[in-house]
Structure 1
């Protein structure tokens, strides 16, 4: 009897999860029901799967509403009707006018139900009027009393119980952005919209048996059938529309790639290639490879840089098709980690592009492949968001809401409304709040996307399915990952910058990784951890790891890329790996079986493949069970039951093999610590390839590379630090200059001119005007000439003057400011127009004014965010120091005091739930000082943001890495801002 049920995917309306809805139906012995979420199909497939498992007949529809106002319900009779329904809803959602019409469009194989309150006439054969229990008294006196063949039972379900109705009202208030007390009744459901046994519903409608029969007829004639088997993926099954031709093309492309990848081809390469091709064909993944190849062929034609990451790097076919740049033969990568006969889901390639190129790649995919969409993600109510939204609904003041969101309150002192806010925030936590977009997932389906779901159109403009990755995989629809990465943007732009800054240099082949692996300069940078700005190897943690390992080769960097991951560190094996890497004698401490399984990593599990090998050879798990373990570690399935079964089997097998319980427990502890963190070796190798590309550019063209880094919004650090690094490499840094600056940062020889993009509060349109005018009519002569030629407000020109953009005029900037105030209108209303005769400028006698370099520094702090001079020059009391970062190695074990400018900090929570820090500073000479702030020190001497600190602590050394264990910390005072000092004090 249920034709109108909602889950909490009826956003900010429903309160029941799909699982709970099905459980309730089972409890009340409901045998068939229709899920009709409001203007969405997000829960459809999950609902069908859950219902089928419990023996309930699932039927699908959509409740079309404007706000809470029900317009009509459309129910799909079958899969064809569902596709039409999804098309119809999608058309509405893709429109800029999302208002639902009063009458539904005719759709084949569907039923339409209008609410009783609507004055609808001339019903079509498939259209009915829904009668709620609250409508029954009105029905007896209405025209429909004589047309009961067009009436059905409309018992809505939106809540679990009457108490749940309160949560619903709060969600409606959030949706309407209003106080709960002001929420209109028309924006709410009815308190009785809860599920009850069917016999009670039939009793309610017992005077109208025709309605009951009509409702039952709809339930009986509807049938939805989805194949949830993963043995037959639902992705596009053929690239050429002929599977045999697909395989011939794949084989041809692979063999064509041999000459490019392997100048000398051995038997090992041919054997592996044939093995892979056979398995790819057997598992029906041929089209998946060809589609990826097609996308990347287009990328290369546009000279876009990309990286193929993930376990796909384990495949020689992927390497030959140039999907990846990792040689699996060189690295002895485990192909079965990528594809094996037990694997049901397709392999995955994570394709990274520059953020500048990714949208064009997406456009190409949508134009080239027919049944394409993005995947949604469900953005749910988190603690802070739910408290903040509910606090506003209850009318709490902002100060009170801030206390609640930061847990800065005494529970015993909270008033009634604050307590309600916290109580109901727990109820709605985890509820879907709105649909977002998966960061890179694209579906390319064999059947139309609307066969499965409706789509909506986010601001990006790409059609997006209304379900997430997990639901898509449940029906065998697997995503293609098209991701965006700043690192690739840096590499591409750096190569372009080198071309114009060094026009006589030979063209860089950035893909010549084999040359980079042997380059002595790159080896030196790696070994000495001088890789600031370089992809994945620039963070303080990675810098220290490289120094400890003394890595100077590709294989070492591949291992380091995975060793740095939290799983290895958490298991305690990072330290063990370093010891064994540096000291061959320590390798003998490894368990013989583990050392035999993983000789390359000295018996330490570093990669996902290592975990699989240990599970297979040490724990005697089958490859299928080992792959299940891999999925469990990656968090790629929702149920923990499978993982627990594998764990039990692992312990049982080890017991039979004669391993002690203590040893088995320790090995399992290490395995578990990898959960969600471990890298596949091919993934690490892919990262290392990109690292080598950036290392090459940093080694030979450091300034050009750092300019590209700044233009692509940095990396691990703030822009200030990359400017500092450029200066350490000999750059001469200039503030934005109206005759040199572009919107982005610009380099000429050793001179780097910061771009207008670096200026806070400076409008991009003004930067565009300046560059356009200068390109068209030449350099600006002086302030007057600039004012004549560029339409700009006083506030905006003041920013340029204060950061010395007119320094070339050799006039004091205070004089220029005074003059600008006399000559520039407060607000620029229109573009300057060209006149035949130049009007004579009014000249003013400028008073004699002065400014200082210290004043420049404070202007730079305000408008650029950092000073272009040394921050140490701003100290109130100049330093008298003789101990610097490079001296610390001579003071191991001693208590010292040094001075450092704050760069970054990493906060972490200890096993005792206490806060501690790892800090990075630079001294007055520009070298690193690394600090450790244990909980007592972190609590007593907290870091207070950017500035110069006096650091007192004990110098420690581990594997050639110097740190200071901080005992005391003090932030030093800087001089008074001279811009606000008395004129007589300014020099």
Structure 2
């Protein structure tokens, strides 16, 4: 029997659209002799360490599941398998969340008694998702099996809800057809309208299940990497210049994971961040105002002729100028030379401006005098912690040596302040916390009021300050800085990382000075806190009244 010649042609708009000239090959497996296959999904889904990381929301840095809202959702749903992560990836979308069905899904997931179906037929169609539409396919199933539309009409309804139908008249016909079909199926007006409300508010922003599942697969892969190879994974996140959060958040997530963050080093750093075991080395890419060409010079010279042995050796070999070299010194990238940063800066001035060793005609006729100057600038005094952190912040946009809250420790270590890691012990109770800014999100409630979510961290963990409209009206102007924020509020019983704010203030540097009795907002100097010992009284016995009067008068 002869086969008929195929006459099918793709639609015209497909043939005339942009053509894909080539397809990239899939990512190779088991490169660099790693002992796992990242595409072995059965292994991933059954890995307890990965599931524990996901269910506890410790997913900062993980694709699609790192936002504060998503991390809270993972905890509320106790997500620890692929199916539930697929569902969570869809219900976090605006359509489901804004329709109120996300909260309903959570409630029904936790309490089977809540799984009451609007229309009995919905149990057969949406039993897997407790009667809640969370995928685009659910719109088709409900419109066909419950409302009575044909499959073609149901899909047309889905497309219309997604904003892909521009004809207003065609849209109106579908709406009329929907309500007529509901009536023919015996649904009441109340049932038809509520079903329509759910479809209308949800369908425009929903995922199809395949889309959501593909996101969940990738989320599982990166969660596995974070749980088993945290240094390598977080180094890659930082090299990728972050994701949902700023680099500062990822750096302190590394610290909370127990990783050691090493400053950049001209002898050890690569261009990107590098991680191994429990250590991460900051890459030269993190240094602002250090050009790509200069970084490449440093790396190429080191590769060709070995490590740098001194500041003079570095300057002669790389020919970097004063400004870029001083940046490297200030941020700690020349710590391998075993000299303090002030001494290196003084030597830099001598080499560049006195010896002029970067000049092509360099020939030091006064070498002895130069050696004398080098000895004269030696010092064991290094930058203070404050100066080091200031240099790091100016260079990287984040601090490494200390967390910003370190400089407010007279407040953060107070017994009345609860640490983020201890919030689980205070569910349903009022607490006071101090946190540093991570990110924030303003939203409009159903009533049209504005509220805000402030994502904050301390050195032990992260938490979410939920500021409802009434409180936001009071404190909005205080939520525009990095902090530190003093938060007072009630810990959410369902998710202890959420704190409903009743009071908010910003802890200023001036407040810290007042606490230390160094300064005040009124510019009043209180003097140092004096300590009195028995020796002071013994000294007073040997001083007559006249000498004592003169001492105080002077």
Q: TM-score range by the shorter chain?
A: 0.7 to 0.9
- Give CA-to-partner distance per residue, 1:249-280, whole Å, 9 cap, x none: xxxxxxxxxxxxxxxxxxxxxxxxxxxxxxxx
| Residues 1:862 and 2:394 aligned together | yes
| Residues 1:552 and 2:80 aligned together | yes
Match of residue 929 from structure 1: 463
- Give the whole-Å Cα distance in 2 for the aligned partners of 1:580 and 1:684: 20
Aligned Cα root-mean-square deviation (Å): 2.9
**Distance apart, 1:956 and its partner CA:** 2.4
- Give the whole-Å Cα distance in 2 for the aligned partners of 1:781 and 1:231: 66
Three-state SS of the structure 2 residue aligned to 1:788 is helix
- Give the whole-Å Cα distance in 1 for the aligned partners of 2:420 and 2:442: 22
Question: Which residue among 832, 846, 852 is the counterpart of 2:384?
Answer: 852
| Contact 1:608/1:678 (<8 A) preserved | yes
Change (3 A) 1:727 1:894: closer
**Distance apart, 1:858 and its partner CA:** 0.9
Match of residue 395 from structure 1: none
**Distance apart, 1:961 and its partner CA:** 4.4
Greater Rg over alpha carbons, structure: 1
Match of residue 515 from structure 1: 43
Question: Which residue among 268, 271, 278 is the counterpart of 1:750?
Answer: 278
| Residues 1:955 and 2:483 aligned together | no
- Give CA-to-partner distance per residue, 1:907-930, whole Å, 9 cap, x none: 1122343321112111232x1221
- Give the whole-Å Cα distance in 1 for the aligned partners of 2:403 and 2:288: 20
**Distance apart, 1:770 and its partner CA:** 0.6
Three-state SS of the structure 1 residue aligned to 2:289 is coil
- Give the whole-Å Cα distance in 2 for the aligned partners of 1:889 and 1:732: 27
Match of residue 765 from structure 1: 293
- Give the whole-Å Cα distance in 2 for the aligned partners of 1:519 and 1:834: 64
| Residues 1:233 and 2:3 aligned together | no
- Give the whole-Å Cα distance in 1 for the aligned partners of 2:329 and 2:39: 44
| Residues 1:661 and 2:197 aligned together | no
Match of residue 422 from structure 2: 887
- Give CA-to-partner distance per residue, 1:164-210, whole Å, 9 cap, x none: xxxxxxxxxxxxxxxxxxxxxxxxxxxxxxxxxxxxxxxxxxxxxxx
| Residues 1:724 and 2:252 aligned together | yes
Match of residue 434 from structure 2: 899
- Give CA-to-partner distance per residue, 1:794-837, whole Å, 9 cap, x none: 111111111011112221211211221222269x9x98879999
**Distance apart, 1:729 and its partner CA:** 2.1
- Give the whole-Å Cα distance in 1 for the aligned partners of 2:191 and 2:341: 73
Q: After the TM superposition, which residues 730-745 of structure 1 pair with which residues of structure 2 at under 5 Å, given as runs?
A: 730-745=258-273
- Give CA-to-partner distance per residue, 1:758-806, whole Å, 9 cap, x none: 1122211111111111111111111111111111121111111110111
- Give the whole-Å Cα distance in 2 for the aligned partners of 1:664 and 1:945: 48
| Contact 2:117/2:123 (<8 A) preserved | no
- Give the whole-Å Cα distance in 1 for the aligned partners of 2:66 and 2:267: 34
Three-state SS of the structure 2 residue aligned to 1:670 is helix
| Contact 2:427/2:496 (<8 A) preserved | no
Three-state SS of the structure 1 residue aligned to 2:154 is helix
Structure 1 residues not aligned, in runs of 5+? 1-229, 238-286, 306-494, 977-984
Question: Which residue among 119, 131, 134 is the counterpart of 1:591?
Answer: 119
Match of residue 714 from structure 1: 242
Q: After the TM superposition, which residues 164-183 of structure 1 pair with which residues of structure 2 at under 5 Å, given as runs?
A: none
Match of residue 56 from structure 2: 528
- Give the whole-Å Cα distance in 2 for the aligned partners of 1:582 and 1:589: 16
- Give the whole-Å Cα distance in 1 for the aligned partners of 2:481 and 2:365: 52
| Contact 1:538/1:716 (<8 A) preserved | yes
| Contact 2:491/2:500 (<8 A) preserved | yes
| Contact 1:563/1:606 (<8 A) preserved | yes
**Distance apart, 1:839 and its partner CA:** 11
- Give the whole-Å Cα distance in 2 for the aligned partners of 1:832 and 1:969: 58
**Distance apart, 1:552 and its partner CA:** 0.5
Change (3 A) 1:745 1:933: same
Q: After the TM superposition, which residues 405-484 of structure 1 pair with which residues of structure 2 at under 5 Å, given as runs?
A: none
**Distance apart, 1:727 and its partner CA:** 1.7
Match of residue 517 from structure 2: none
Three-state SS of the structure 1 residue aligned to 2:472 is helix
- Give the whole-Å Cα distance in 2 for the aligned partners of 1:897 and 1:876: 15
| Residues 1:695 and 2:227 aligned together | no
Three-state SS of the structure 2 residue aligned to 1:537 is coil
Q: After the TM superposition, which residues 126-141 of structure 1 pair with which residues of structure 2 at under 5 Å, given as runs?
A: none
Change (3 A) 1:963 1:751: closer
Three-state SS of the structure 2 residue aligned to 1:600 is helix
- Give the whole-Å Cα distance in 2 for the aligned partners of 1:951 and 1:852: 30
| Contact 1:930/1:962 (<8 A) preserved | yes
TM-score (norm 2): 0.83
Three-state SS of the structure 2 residue aligned to 1:651 is helix
- Give the whole-Å Cα distance in 1 for the aligned partners of 2:305 and 2:465: 53
**Distance apart, 1:972 and its partner CA:** 1.4
| Contact 2:232/2:276 (<8 A) preserved | no
| Contact 2:38/2:221 (<8 A) preserved | yes
Change (3 A) 1:786 1:571: same
Three-state SS of the structure 1 residue aligned to 2:25 is helix
| Contact 1:735/1:805 (<8 A) preserved | yes
Q: After the TM superposition, which residues 17-56 of structure 1 pair with which residues of structure 2 at under 5 Å, given as runs?
A: none
- Give the whole-Å Cα distance in 2 for the aligned partners of 1:839 and 1:577: 81
Greater helix percent: which structure? 2
| Contact 1:628/1:642 (<8 A) preserved | no
| Residues 1:873 and 2:401 aligned together | no
TM-score (norm 1): 0.47
Match of residue 645 from structure 1: 173
Match of residue 970 from structure 1: 505
| Contact 2:136/2:203 (<8 A) preserved | no
- Give CA-to-partner distance per residue, 1:733-763, whole Å, 9 cap, x none: 1111111111111234432111111112221
- Give the whole-Å Cα distance in 2 for the aligned partners of 1:690 and 1:875: 39
Match of residue 550 from structure 2: none
Structure 2 residues not aligned, in runs of 5+? 1-8, 514-527, 529-554
Question: Which residue among 896, 904, 910 is the counterpart of 2:445?
Answer: 910
- Give CA-to-partner distance per residue, 1:199-229, whole Å, 9 cap, x none: xxxxxxxxxxxxxxxxxxxxxxxxxxxxxxx
- Give the whole-Å Cα distance in 2 for the aligned partners of 1:758 and 1:716: 18
**705-714 or 894-903, larger mean C-alpha shift:** 894-903
- Give CA-to-partner distance per residue, 1:135-164, whole Å, 9 cap, x none: xxxxxxxxxxxxxxxxxxxxxxxxxxxxxx
Change (3 A) 1:709 1:664: same
Change (3 A) 1:568 1:234: closer
- Give the whole-Å Cα distance in 2 for the aligned partners of 1:547 and 1:750: 26
